[in-house]
Amino acid sequence: MPFDYKKEYKEFYLPKNRPSIVTIPKMNYIAVKGKGDPNDEDGEYKKSIGLLYAIAFTLKMSHRVGHEIDGYFEYVVPPLEGFWQQDGSADIDYAHKENFDFVSVIRLPDFITKDDFDWAIKEATVKKKTDFSKVELMEYDEGLCVQCMHIGSYDNEPETIGLMNDYIRTVGYESDITDIRRHHEIYLSDPRKCDISKLKTVIRHPIRKR
């Protein structure tokens, strides 16, 4: 049975639909940075997703093409995630999505090294005849956060964020969103296949003691 990060680390990927505080350890990701409206069919965000999944699956299937990774085990590719910001502000204006700065990421198993990542970039570039130079290897230590499962449209996220902000105030914390510690989303549903009212998205914000 392939290792499934969502099931093995439910505290990070399957929170309740009420706010809770969690400490996120250091993780490795493949990442693509960009700007613009995520709903733009020809925009940077949609292109970033294709680039990420191509590298993620090249690494997952590496053993089938003769690239041996030390410590490799069968695993399910973790869900797509995104770090979002607008003009360096802690607040997000959902009416002006064209102003988004984003970092799209997919978590990597710890056994994947920089050499394995470099191999995957070269392998995918040759096989898919695509430029993968925007894909980076990223290490991120997210630390202390508040998170909550949001169910429904992305445009309704302010309601869930409001609950999160109310909760952290009552337990002595405050938001710590900065240029480095950003609004974070983990996408558990595919919007192309799921009714918008049933979309599941983990929303996570960095916090600090008030």
Q: What is the pTM (predicted TM-score) of this model?
A: 0.96
Tens of pLDDT, residue by residue over 6-38, are 999 999 999 999 999 999 999 999 999 999 999
Question: Which residues share a beta bridge with 62?
Answer: none
Compute the CA torsion angle 85, 89, 92, 94 (nearest 10 deg).
-90
Are the C-beta atoms of residues 144 and 151 closer than 8 Å to each other? no
Structure tokens at 81: 């995630």
Q: Beta strand pairing status for 80-86 and 100-108?
A: antiparallel
Are the C-beta atoms of residues 55 and 132 closer than 8 Å to each other? yes
What is the reported pLDDT for 168? 98
* Residue 98 DSSP class: G
Q: Which of 155, 143, 135 is nearest to 182 (CA)?
A: 143
Q: How confident is the model at residue 88 (pLDDT cuts 50, 70, 90)?
A: low
What is the reported pLDDT for 91? 79
Q: Which of 122, 37, 109, 28 is nearest to 76 (CA)?
A: 109
Are the C-beta atoms of residues 200 and 79 closer than 8 Å to each other? no
What is the reported pLDDT for 93? 86
Structure tokens at 101: 């700065």
Residue 27, burial from CB neighbour count under 10 angstroms (0-12, 13-18, 19+): buried
Looking at per-residue pLDDT, the higher value among 89 and 128 belongs to 128
